[in-house]
């Protein structure tokens, strides 16, 4: 077995360059490196639709670090935010829209990509409208309220000849990429078990849209559990066939409309079972795999930073990167190169099929086919 000393970044990069072509979900080497030699010189303009916490705290700052794209425009229903962002990021008035005049973005060549960062109930509408306006689209996860909406979005973008990508930033994060490689390449032999969890203790506004089922589609499963579902899928490289799930609620006063904590078992081909859980009332973030000849895990696994990993061979010695910058740069490069994104709408659909089945299993009390 290789010593921890030799299990280093050089080996990681070399293994990526040699092996990722065979992986079902893993991104190419350039997604880790953040360098795209074939890119055109023109930076693509991104318009953020919805200026809530994720746009202001993560995406806008990331767009100050991107190489292939930049913050060109905004769409907001709040005039005060429009003024604030225009001043802070030097956004011209012609690139500022509201939800009523959004469709006129079709006439603006400065906007190449529309990034939908709205409550989930609005994802389908603005993705379809953006595609009809001739713009490529990034849509935040979860992709939509259900799988049926995902299919409508995919069809609309294909009919418009526009690319659709889902905001799965962790496909560009080196520790998660390594989990994909170790699991899919069976670096330690066949997987024997996989356990993953993601959650936090809700301390936010009790009036948040995330706690309104009509806007969010659900609670912690939609918001946090989707990462754990992703982790199970991209570590195994397989798609689950069945799910059994249960729900626990200790604070119905706060989580009356949405799920608080959900536990599930995903059954994959060859009778492999992965366990998972999500919560708005527990601080969880890990992805742990056990194989025939060793173990590998990341914990914390799903945050914007601070991700750490360990394997039987030693610690994963990878750097922290700006995940959102890597994600958006890669999509811009895909548009330039006319190559498919590694996180297309179909990837969002696969997660929603699992989520739909989890909610169905909770309701029926039975194992459900995905």
Give the number of other Cβ atoms within 10 Å of residue 158's Cβ: 13
- Angstrom distance (rounded) from CA 26 to CA 181: 7
Instruction: Reply yes or no on whether 227 is catalytic.
Output: yes
The per-residue DSSP string of 253-308 comes to TTSSSS-SEEEEEEEPGGG-EEEEEEESEEEEEEEEEEETTEEEEESS-SSSS---
Task: List phi, psi (to 5°) of 82.
Answer: -60, -45
Taking CB atoms within 8 Å and a gap of at least 24, the contacts of 333-336 are 333/30, 333/36, 333/38, 333/39, 333/68, 334/163, 334/165, 335/44, 335/112, 335/113, 335/136, 335/163, 336/36, 336/38, 336/39, 336/40, 336/44, 336/68
Instruction: Reply yes or no on whether 88 is catalytic.
Output: no
**Catalytic member of 115, 168, 227, 302:** 227
- Angstrom distance (rounded) from CA 90 to CA 93: 9
DSSP state of 344: B
The per-residue DSSP string of 131-158 comes to HHTT-EEEEPSS-SSSHHHHHHHHHHHH
Q: Give the burial class of 161: count Cβ atoms within 10 A of its Cβ; 0-12 exposed, 13-18 middle, 19 or more buried.
A: exposed
**Catalytic member of 97, 115, 124, 141:** 141
With beta carbons less than 8 A apart as the criterion, state whether 362 and 247 touch: yes
With beta carbons less than 8 A apart as the criterion, state whether 317 and 8 touch: yes
Residue 5, classed as helix, strand or coil, is coil
Query: Could you list the active site residues?
Result: 141, 227
């Amino acid at each position: 077995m290789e010593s921890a000393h030799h299990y280093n970044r050089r080996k990681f990069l070399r293994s990526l360059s040699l092996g990722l072509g065979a992986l079902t979900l893993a991104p190419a080497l350039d997604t880790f490196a953040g360098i795209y030699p074939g890119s055109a010189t023109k930076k693509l303009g991104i318009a953020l639709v919805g200026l809530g916490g994720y746009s202001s705290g993560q995406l806008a700052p990331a767009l100050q670090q991107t190489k292939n794209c930049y913050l060109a425009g905004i769409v907001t229903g709040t005039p005060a935010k429009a003024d604030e962002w225009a001043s802070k990021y030097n956004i011209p008035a012609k690139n500022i829209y509201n939800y009523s005049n959004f469709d006129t973005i079709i006439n603006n060549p400065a906007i190449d990509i529309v990034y939908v960062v709205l409550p989930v109930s609005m994802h389908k509408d603005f993705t379809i409208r953006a595609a009809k306006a001739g713009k490529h689209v990034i849509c935040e996860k979860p992709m939509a309220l259900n799988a049926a909406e995902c299919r409508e979005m995919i069809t609309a973008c294909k009919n418009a000849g526009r690319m659709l990508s889902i905001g799965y930033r962790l496909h560009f994060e080196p520790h998660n990429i390594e989990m994909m490689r170790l699991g899919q390449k069976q670096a330690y032999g066949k997987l024997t078990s996989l356990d993953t969890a993601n959650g936090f203790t809700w301390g936010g506004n009790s009036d948040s849209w995330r706690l309104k089922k009509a806007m969010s589609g659900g609670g912690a499963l939609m918001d946090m559990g989707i990462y754990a579902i992703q982790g199970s899928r991209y570590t195994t490289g397989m798609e689950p066939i069945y799910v059994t799930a249960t729900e626990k609620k200790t604070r119905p006063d706060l989580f009356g409309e949405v799920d608080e904590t959900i536990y599930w078992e995903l059954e994959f081909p060859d009778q492999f079972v992965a366990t998972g859980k999500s919560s708005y009332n527990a601080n969880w973030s890990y992805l742990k795999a056990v194989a025939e000849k060793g173990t590998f895990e990341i914990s914390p696994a799903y945050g914007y930073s601070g991700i750490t990993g360990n394997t039987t061979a030693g610690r994963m010695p990878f750097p922290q990167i700006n995940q959102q910058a890597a994600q958006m740069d890669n999509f811009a490069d895909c548009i330039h190169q006319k190559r498919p994104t590694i996180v297309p709408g179909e990837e969002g659909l696969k997660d929603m099929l699992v989520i739909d089945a989890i909610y169905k299993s909770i309701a029926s009390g039975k194992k459900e086919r995905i």
